[in-house]
Amino acid sequence: MDTVKRRLNSTRAQLETVEKELDGWTPKTAQESQCINSFILTLIKELKEFEKLGDEWFGRKIVDHEAEKGRITEIFERINEAREQFKTVLLDRLDRLKPSKIADYKYDLEGEEERHVRRVICTPGTRVRILDDIITWANNTSPGSPDIYWLFGQAGSGKSTIAYSVARRFESAGDPNDMPIVLGGNFFCSRQFEETRLSKCIIRTVVHHLALKCRAFADQLSHADFEAVNQNVRAQLNDLLIAPWQASKPDWCPDPLNPHYLIVIDALDEIDGTGGSEFLRVLLEVIDENENCLQGLKFFVTSRREPNLVRHVNSLKSKQLYHLEEVHPEEAQRDIKTYLMVELPGCEEIENLVALTAGLFIYAATVVKYLAKYEPSEQESVLTTLLASSDSSNLQSLSTGEPFTLLDTLYSQILDRAFRDFSPKEKGWEVRRSILHTFLCTAERTSTSVVADLLFISEDVAKKLLSNLHAVLYCGEHGQVLTYHKSFSDFILDQGRSGNFWCNQAMHHRLLADACFRWMKDGLRFNIANIASSFVLDVDNPMLEDAVEKNIPPVLSYSSRNWSYHLSAAASIIPNGLHDNISDFLRLSALFWMEAMNLLRLRGLCGSMLRTAHDWVISSQVMNAVAVSQSGKQIVSGSDDGSVRVWDASTGDELKVLKGHTNRVTSVAFSPDGKQIIVSGSNDKSVRVWDASTGDELNVLKGNTGLVKSVAFSPDGKQSGSRSLYIRETRSDDHEEHTGWLLSPDGQHRLMFVLPELLLPDASNILTIPRSSCSHVDLAHSALGLQWTQCYHP
């Protein structure tokens, strides 16, 4: 009985405190004012009900009456309903910051996806020294303590696990040894989720978290310019964090018991492009410039080491750095042993495996995943094979400056086992490699079904390969194929590391661009969603969403949304079928594509995607002239942009760009003696000689008074005098009608007859004589009669 009465009195006291707090709240909008007034009126009314119940306490034992119990329940329900309405208004205001919920370290904490992205605490007994160092820094709230702690290290060194442990530690000031510092905000970057790879999302998410933790900051944030959410990082820092935080100081500073706030930002190297490095650079500069303005905030940041950034950080005043590679080898090995003993209990090869990891946490974690699908009775034999195949040279990799040699060996072994049923010369092997490359190269991580459709193969093959690569790839919550760690993608995209498994990105993006155009050509059509009437707005059509899902299959949706992504990264090779695909697309499918994009609610992207196509076509210039080296291994081309380019004939890779011409290049030729010499002629009236192996310009032949239309080498390829190179120069009037006769310099004598149809700008084999001066013509290798046709090689 007394317990119930105490609970009633306690609840009434809490509600009275809330009422006093709200009395000083200044509403920002009419809606907010209405909700606050409604909440206050509800509190006042229900407090009177509590007082009435208290007065009746000694007259009646209210807990004995069901009617009185109902009255108490109804009071709480009415108060809670008013509170929820008020809370919704406040959260709506903060949601204008557009925070990333996925980037919160607590996101889906218990779910399967969280295990895949490795948001877990350090195994107890590991990372003790580094965690103590971070906690000591965070708890030091004296003015001289650095505002920022940057933890950096190579991929797989355990940065994210440490960051997660720190965030968990300071979520609430529950440790009696901690000073009053709590987690104010956090952002965990991850390649798995697009919005966590965007630097512009970081500050607005952190600010959202901080506003929920600090009332004074939230009050000042309401006056901020929320347009800054769409601006650059520096503007967001100044308008959404620094200005509101500084304005909140009068309410925050006087009380020494007010907590300090820790901001944790993890894995900046996962940000797209160079965005992570640029974000950290700006953050460090802003903190350094506004040291006094940010009193009460501390920043813990992790990323890979970037040499230029390290030098920049060293120039700043207030910072603390910790390089994970500086951890003593014995300490790292000891931590890894503890981790492996927890993950592989009873394993007899722990000591050998610890030695093999050489301090690389990602190696240990990958081995654990690799063994996960084997039964305990099988794990020992699999591990024995793994250890036996790792030679002693790998154990020295860290000391020789090649920290990924061990990891490369492990990844190679995993791939070899997954591809073991095929040899690299078989089509099945190549198909599976294309599947692997597509898993890693799609514009967005997608399903095995879409990957198989893009490659026009059976999905069963893609699913089987994914299963065989379970140690490095996994299927996410929505069926998308994801990598456990970025180091695997880095391995596949590095030819020197992955060998036969290497992904030539430019060529694979070309393949995927072709696939997208094929799917759009075959799948797009007029009224693709079978809409019955064009007079009903999309928003008024309740069946539209289902119709779009039914008629635009996932692979067609992917192709429509992402063809420009693959095109922008695709190699431009000779011959270039992509130009034909783009032409067909614009002539036959563009309007249908725009309709599909509108149905997919992405019509706003159409303009930028078409500009991407335009820019790619311009940059990949349709070639004016092409020649093949004597070995057949290289191709040289001349373009409208004045460039001469050398290509690998087998892969399509661009090997060299030879710059020097100032106008379109009309003709190119390789020396026939195999000496890697190139000659090019241009509308800039010059002929240039190049070394194809180095890209060096060897000579510039000037003196022509008109446009150079054709160049060629003599059959022996020598570069001495006029025997080596013959040039046909057209007159300034490019429309002169040619009779077929080549005339002497004075125009009086007919020297040689060549069929007029062979006097084309691209006929690089034609022997010609400049009009500007006398020339010596060597006819030693000429041919007469029908044999002359042997000289012509189009």
The number of helices, as runs of H, and strands, as runs of E, in the chain is 30, 19
Q: Taking the domains of the chain in order of start, what are their residue ranges?
A: 1-95, 103-326, 329-401, 504-621, 626-733
Cβ count within 10 A of residue 662: 11
User: With the CA atoms of 493, 496, 500 and 501 taken in that order, what torsion angle do they form, in degrees rounded to the nearest 10?
Assistant: -20
Please identify which residue in the block is written with the tokens 């894995």.
267
Instruction: Output the pLDDT for position 463.
Output: 93
Beta bridge mates, 682 = 665
Is residue 346 very low, low, confident or very high in pLDDT (cuts 50, 70, 90)? confident
- Which residue type occupies 398? L
At 669-721, the pLDDT tens digits run 888 877 788 988 888 888 889 888 888 888 887 766 667 777 877 666 554 32
Query: Of the candidates 786, 788, 787, 738, which has an alpha carbon nearest to the alpha carbon of residue 761?
Result: 738
Q: What is d(CA 711, CA 762) in angstroms, rounded to the nearest whole number?
A: 9
pLDDT mean over 208-235? 84
| pLDDT score at 395 | 40
CA dist., res. 341 & res. 354, Å (int): 10
Q: Report the 3 state secondary structure along 60-113.
A: CCHHHCHHHHHHHHHHHHHHHHHHHHHHHHHHHHHHCCCCCCCCCCCCCCCCHH
Higher pLDDT, 132 or 18: 132
Please give the Cα distance from 92 to 84 (Å, whole number).
12
What's the rounded Cα separation, in Å, for the pair 310 and 315?
Answer: 9
Q: What share of the chain is helix, strand, coil (3-state, %, to 5)?
A: 50, 10, 35
Domain 103-326 identical in fold to domain 626-733: no
Closest CA to 636 of 623, 621, 626, 622: 626
Contact 642, 659 (CB under 8 A): yes
Token representation of residue 649 = 């004939």
Q: Across the strands, what pairs with 628?
A: 635
d(CA 528, CA 551): 6
The label of the residue with tokens 């959260």 reads 91
pLDDT at 32: 54
* pLDDT > 90? residue 594: yes
Rounded to 10 degrees, the C-alpha dihedral 266/269/275/278 comes to 80
Q: Yes or no: say if 707 and 734 are a contact pair by the CB < 8 Å rule.
A: yes
Q: Tell me the mean pLDDT in the region 427-443.
A: 94
- The whole-number pLDDT of residue 318 equals 58
Q: Tell me what percent of the residues of the chain surpass a pLDDT of 70.
A: 66
Q: Give CA 235 to chain center in angstroms.
A: 23
Query: DSSP label at 323?
Result: E
pLDDT, the chain, mean: 75
Q: What is the pLDDT of residues 402-420, one digit of tens each?
A: 445 667 888 888 898 889 8
pLDDT at 82: 56
Query: Who's near 403: CB < 8 A, 6+ residues apart?
Result: 154, 325, 360, 397
Q: How far apart are CA 529 and CA 544, in angstroms?
A: 8
pLDDT at 781: 57
The three-state secondary structure class of 683 is: coil
> What pLDDT, on a 0 to 100 scale, did the predictor assign at position 726?
40
Q: Could you give the CA distance from residue 269 to residue 283 in angstroms, rounded to a whole number?
A: 15
Task: Label residue 725 by pLDDT band (50, 70, 90).
Answer: very low
* Most confident region among 62-71, 167-176, 726-735 by mean pLDDT: 167-176
DSSP string, 214-254: -HHHHHHHTTS-GGGGGS-HHHHIIIIIIHHHHHTHHHHSS
Predicted pLDDT of residue 563: 95
Instruction: Give pLDDT, residue 792.
Output: 45
pLDDT digits (tens, 9 = 90+) for 643-670: 888 887 766 677 888 888 888 888 888 8
Answer yes or no: are the C-beta atoms of 504 and 454 closer than 8 Å.
no
What's the alpha-carbon Rg for the chain, to the nearest Å?
A: 36
What sign has the CA pseudo-torsion 377, 383, 389, 391? negative
Protein fold of 103-326: Rossmann fold (3.40.50)
* pLDDT greater than 90 at residue 439: yes
Task: Tell me the percentage of the chain whose pLDDT exceeds 90.
Answer: 17
Q: What is the pLDDT of residue 248?
A: 84
Residue listed under structure tokens 């294309």: 434
Residue 587 is classified by DSSP as I
Rounded to whole angstroms, how far apart are CA atoms 487 and 392? 22
pLDDT tier for residue 729 given thresholds of 50, 70 and 90: very low
Question: Residue 2 pLDDT > 70, yes or no?
Answer: no
Confidence (pLDDT) at 559: 96
- CATH architecture for segment(s) 626-733: 7 Propeller (2.130)
